Structures are given as structure tokens and as C-alpha cells.
Amino acid sequence: MYESNQQTGVQYIRDSQKINLILPGEECLDQIGYKVLQNAAGASLLCGYKSLYNGKVKLTYEISKYASLAALLPQLTYEQLTGILCDLLSVVEQVYDIGFLQYENISLQADDIFLNTTNYKVSLLYFPVKTHGELESRAEFEQRLRQEVHKLIYASPLITQARMHRLDDAFQSGARLCELKHQLQDGLFTSGRDTEPGSLPPERPSDAGSGRQERAPGLWQRLFGQRKGARRAALLLVGEGTPEPVSIRLTGGEQLVGKNPQLGQGAILFNRTISRRHCKFIVGDDGCFLVDLNSANGTFLNEARLTPQVPYPVKPGDKIRLANSRFLLTQG
């Protein structure tokens, strides 16, 4: 919650309906920030309307239709909280896109993070007050955000310790905020089981919702002349011009690929533009399929970008690109 500043004379007054920020005079108002917010239609930042109050400037924020995250936190499930954190990161992206805003004027405390009670969409408060001294950098702003998220996670009574650690480790790892948002969208931290910190959630069945029907004869049989149930020929995903040698063996079932070191042989650690869980290969009796897992920078098959969560058949000789790293699928 914004603190009244005796040195500058700024007062913060709050009740259940509104927040009033009272400034000694116009000289304390960040005119650029105020105008930018007034013109930023649709942005999830609350900027109060200005009026005069006993010769002072008053900014009034209407909050009656919102609930603060602090108030709702005790009743939020883990899935709801991760969804809210994902939306919070989207609002931060809006801040970056708008520009001309002073990061220190955005409150990230749970009392000042407001949620629409019907869909839990996030709105933040922006206080257009001139600050004294050095302005907060983007890096400092993001560090402040991570610290507030840390407090939120460990203040939630409905989250187990294992999930707390897993989610907090991700936010404190130094990963880019846009990458964290994509991981939250992918459901990376929303597993149905309570596992140890850092473990990966179970994958959905490969055919669920894909609309894929069984083929007769199977693609694998047409490619390699094998009967269903016969021992499969292995495929290799081999790096082309990569700074480190890559040879990922695809023998059966599902193989996750990304820069999460816990993915074992599917881990690709040299490229920061590859998502932690970037894509997966599904090897079965009906062939080998490649699925993009909502990666930030895309999965490409023969230079065509894949639609996320849709399985695409692949075969030896196909060229696969993860972000800007190139690979060749060969027969092992």
C-alpha cells in the first residue's frame, strides 16, 4: 500500500470505495505520466481523476468494483493464483509497451493489485507523482516484482510447500518475465499432482483433443515397412551448426525438448531463446509427431511455423528449427 510521504506532503487516504492521493500542488504531479495514462485506453492500469481539494491536487481512484489481491488471497486455489500471476505479467508488458512511465510509481503490493471479481483480471495502480533522486530502472522494477510475488506465494494458505517452492524457484531464477508468462500459460507449474519442487507436470495423452484418427496402414509402417508392434527404428534429432553437439534419441513414447535441465537428454542449454519446455516428440505405432508447446519463439518444420498443441507428422530428412537453432531429423 502506498505510504504517505511527510517529506513531500503527499497523503494517501483509502476506504472500501476509493483511494485518494492528495498532493500539495501541481508541481508534485508527474504531468507526463498522468496524461499518458489518461490516453492509454484499455490499459490495465488505474489512473485517478484529478480535482482540487482545499487548494491541493487530489487524485481519486474508484476501486469499488474491484477486490484487492490481498483480500482474495486466502481463498485462491493454486490454479487461480498462477492464472492471476500470468495476467499480472501481461499487465507489466503493457507498462513496457506504453512507455514514458516511471516504474517506481506502480505499486506492486498485494493491497494495490486489484482483481475483477468475475474473471480475476488484474489492474495495477499508477501514482503519477514526481519522485526525487534516481529513477527506478526496469531491472530494479522487475526485482521488486519478484520480491512481491515471493511474498504472495508464501502467504497463500491453500498452496502446499512443494508447489510454493516450485513456483517461487521459477520467479527467482532470473528467467525473463515474458518467458515466465508463457510457462504459466503452458501450465508448466499447474500439475495435478503434488511433486517435489522443480518436477514437471504429467503430459496430456498425445491424442487428446487432437482430432487425429488411427491410420491403416500406419505412417511408421509406410516409412519403415514395419508391422504394428514390431520393434521401432530410432530417430535422432541432430543439431546443425549448433554451438554444442546435439543428438537426441527418439525411440518411443514422448520426449520433451527445451532448455530445462531436468528434461535429461532433451535439454538444450545453449540457447536462451528456446523455451524451458519448447516442444515434444511423440513416437508411436502410427509414426512420429512433433508438437509445439506454446513456445515463445516458435517451432518450425521445414521453415513452416507450427500451430501450438497440434501434432505434426515428421520423418527422417525433415528440418526442424527451435527458435533460431536448427536441427535435422535422421534415422538412428
In contact, 182 and 295? CB cutoff 8 Å? yes
In contact, 34 and 49? CB cutoff 8 Å? no
Q: What is the pLDDT, as a whole number, of residue 108?
A: 92
Share above pLDDT 70 across residues of the chain, in percent, rounded to a whole number: 82
Model's pTM, two decimal places? 0.56
Across 90-118, average pLDDT? 89
Summarised one tens digit per residue, pLDDT across range 112-151 is 999 988 888 999 988 888 877 778 888 899 999 998 999 9
| Cα(181)–Cα(86) distance, integer angstroms | 5
Burial call 188-225: b when 16+ CB within 10 Å, e when fewer: bbbbeeeeeeeebbeeeebeeeeeeeeeeebbbbeeee
* Amino acid at position 104, single letter: E
Summarised one tens digit per residue, pLDDT across range 242-270 is 998 899 999 888 899 999 888 888 899 99
